[in-house]
Amino acid sequence: MSWRIALARPDLGEEEISAVSRVLRGPVLTSGPETEAFEREFAAYHGAEHGVAFANGTVALVALYAALGIGPGDEVVVPSLTFVSSATSVVFAGATPVFAEVDPETFNLDAADVARRMGPRVKAILAVHYGGQPADLAELAQIAQAAGVFLLEDAAEAHGARYRGRHVGTLGQAGMFSFTPTKNITTGEGGMILTGDHQLAERLRQLRNHGQSEPYVHSLLGCNWRITEMQAAIGRVQVTKLSGILARKLALAERLDRLIEGLPGVQTPTVRPDRDHVHMLYTVKLDSGPAMRDAVIDEMGRRGIETRVYFPPVHRQPIFVGTSPALPVTEDVAGRILSLPIHSRLTFDELEEVAEALAETIGAVCAGRT
């Protein structure tokens, strides 16, 4: 479906087209200088020592668990209010996800609930930075340290975000980023692991290339999880645009806050003071539940404005039914959230239209007129 005002839109142009053309005119299409440069430049932007690029963020997580020796019999604590592969990647590694509650204001992991779910089999905590706002990393690091387990970051949605002045992806043992088209920067498909651990980075490189230690010697069980040179070339251009994209999105988010603040029944995003939110998503929470929220989505859609639920809880997905106790906070939040359009090419006029449509739609839905 083509929307008049889309939720997200990639910021791509002639520079990315030239970068891909340059690669296509040369002899190397995979595992070459563009990949190395993309890894170096993305890592440098975030202040990380090592970057290892992957075909996508999901397989980057699978490789990370394998590289850390997390597998059958082990557990990883993850939020349920996230994209499904924060949890399915754990399953692909042979381990089991343990779902924890989120903070009902920021939608990030609730550290107190994580502490309650730590058992002898837990080997890692996966801190997802929901929508681009860093999770409570200090509290989660304390829990991980006390239990002697890894703190890993799912920074798929949080390129360039900072927690207490430091970039996410560099605050645990490793951090994963995704480059799908709805993210703040994109390579079409793509992923990256950042880490300060040289040995971990080397293991990840080997796993991504069929576990090969030298030509046709496969000393680890790996897979083909490589990114192409064309994607990496796009990624290099995108890294140079990241600061500009984030500045634009911050200005849009602040304007949207002012436009929506005071609208009855709508809560604007809560941003904790010690961190930067990079607004991959702009998610509001409604006072009323799923029936009204879904009616708002339908009516906004009729006006050509795309809105979406990020995310239906993962523990309620058919593949996970019966594997997790109820998560009342997550389920309540998931029934009331709504993500609105926000991307670097959105104009302030379009933003005003979104806010006006939301106000009218909520008014109409409340009055039972849709």
Ligand X SMILES: Cc1ncc(COP(=O)(O)O)c(C=O)c1O
Among 101, 110, 113, 154, binds ligand X (CB under 6 A): 154
The answer to whether 234 and 181 have CB atoms below 8 angstroms apart is no
**Smallest gap, in angstroms, from Cβ of residue 146 to ligand X?**
25
Residue placing its CB nearer to ligand X in the complex, 239 or 292: 239
Using the contact rule CB under 6 A, the part of the chain among 77-85, 217-225, 333-341, 355-363 near ligand X is 77-85
Among 35, 58, 108, 133, binds ligand X (CB under 6 A): 58
Residue with tokens 């859609």: 301
Residues paired with residue 284 on neighbouring β-strands, in sequence order: 338
Q: Residue 85 and residue 315: Cα distance in Å, rounded?
A: 12
Using the contact rule CB under 6 A, the part of the chain among 19-27, 117-125, 153-161, 326-334 near ligand X is 153-161
Applying the rule CB under 6 A, the residues between 190 and 219 that interact with ligand X are 191
Among 35, 80, 86, 133, binds ligand X (CB under 6 A): 86
| 157-186 footprint of ligand X as x/- string (CB under 6 A) | x--------------------x-x------
Residue placing its CB nearer to ligand X in the complex, 190 or 335: 190
The answer to whether 238 and 188 have CB atoms below 8 angstroms apart is no
**Smallest gap, in angstroms, from Cβ of residue 190 to ligand X?**
7
Please give the residue whose beta carbon sits closest to ligand X in the complex.
57
Q: Residue 23 and residue 29: Cα distance in Å, rounded?
A: 7
Q: Residue 303 and residue 111: Cα distance in Å, rounded?
A: 40
Among 5, 76, 77, 85, binds ligand X (CB under 6 A): 85
How many CB atoms within 10 Å of residue 38?
27
Residue placing its CB nearer to ligand X in the complex, 48 or 63: 63
**Smallest gap, in angstroms, from Cβ of residue 339 to ligand X?**
12
Among 38, 42, 83, 320, binds ligand X (CB under 6 A): 83
* H-helix or E-strand spanning residue 240: helix 229-260
The gap from C-alpha 116 to its chain's centroid, in whole angstroms, comes to 25
CB contact set of 170 (below 8 Å; sequence gap of 6+): 46, 47, 48, 194, 196
Among 156, 230, 278, 286, binds ligand X (CB under 6 A): 156
Residue 82 near ligand X by CB under 6 A: yes
Among 128, 151, 239, 333, binds ligand X (CB under 6 A): 128
How many CB atoms within 10 Å of residue 73?
10
Residue 16 near ligand X by CB under 6 A: no
Q: What is the dihedral of CA 295, 296, 301, 306, to 10 degrees?
A: -130
Q: Residue 102 and residue 105: Cα distance in Å, rounded?
A: 8
Using the contact rule CB under 6 A, the part of the chain among 152-160, 240-248, 249-257, 361-369 near ligand X is 152-160
**Smallest gap, in angstroms, from Cβ of residue 76 to ligand X?**
13
Residue placing its CB nearer to ligand X in the complex, 64 or 355: 64
Q: Residue 253 and residue 44: Cα distance in Å, rounded?
A: 27
**Smallest gap, in angstroms, from Cβ of residue 82 to ligand X?**
5
Residue 56 near ligand X by CB under 6 A: yes
The answer to whether 192 and 39 have CB atoms below 8 angstroms apart is yes
Q: Residue 282 and residue 260: Cα distance in Å, rounded?
A: 12
Which amino acid would we find at residue 5?
I
* Contacting residues toward ligand X, per CB under 6 A: 56-58, 82-83, 85-86, 128, 154, 156-157, 178, 180, 191
